[in-house]
Structure 1
């Protein structure tokens, strides 16, 4: 009866099905993580990190409790476009009195004015670049 073609059907292989299902789920998870992290394949161009060097200067012009800050700076590096965010602080209290983002394309210089949002103390102001993208 061992070679009987008319006997009962063999039992399904549950272990094989479970292993295949887990492998497919794992592959889907890996692909989802790669998609979310930006590694979408060889056809997508990656920008990579930007190398740059910056310099920024600020000058304040105030009358009473109001004022403006003139910001000027330069950025050099390997990219053709930068978004440079400059923060202006009161030097004594370290309180933010101004913030401005510059879109730098082609040229390496950026400049502009921003209103001072608090009275400026006798110690003056301090400027720093807080973000480059």
Structure 2
């Protein structure tokens, strides 16, 4: 399997875990010391915080939400070293009955022991710059 395909499989697994509301599976795809920056600027440092916060979200305000990666735009994978990949992708989320919220997401993935994991994640909501002033 190509390294790019392996990286893309991690992104697909993230979406699958989210869409199933499985915080443990979602959290396992991050490194122990990962940083997860939400669209509103909150940082969740570390796998445990990422899992715990997503468990609360999946059981509460984001219960039943769905995400997609790449559906709202191109997925660009760039290897800065053989064991470090930077990914910028279109994505977004939706709640049942609500409008799709498009995002641009950035990931830094690292390969350790043959497995790719997310070391850093940044979600930025797509908005009209004229409105965002």
Do Structure 1 and Structure 2 share a fold, with TM-score over 0.5?
Answer: no
Shorter-normalised TM range:
under 0.3
Give the structure with the larger helix fraction. Answer: 2
TM-score normalised according to structure 1 size: 0.24
Larger Rg: 1
In the superposition, the TM-score normalised over structure 2's length comes to 0.24
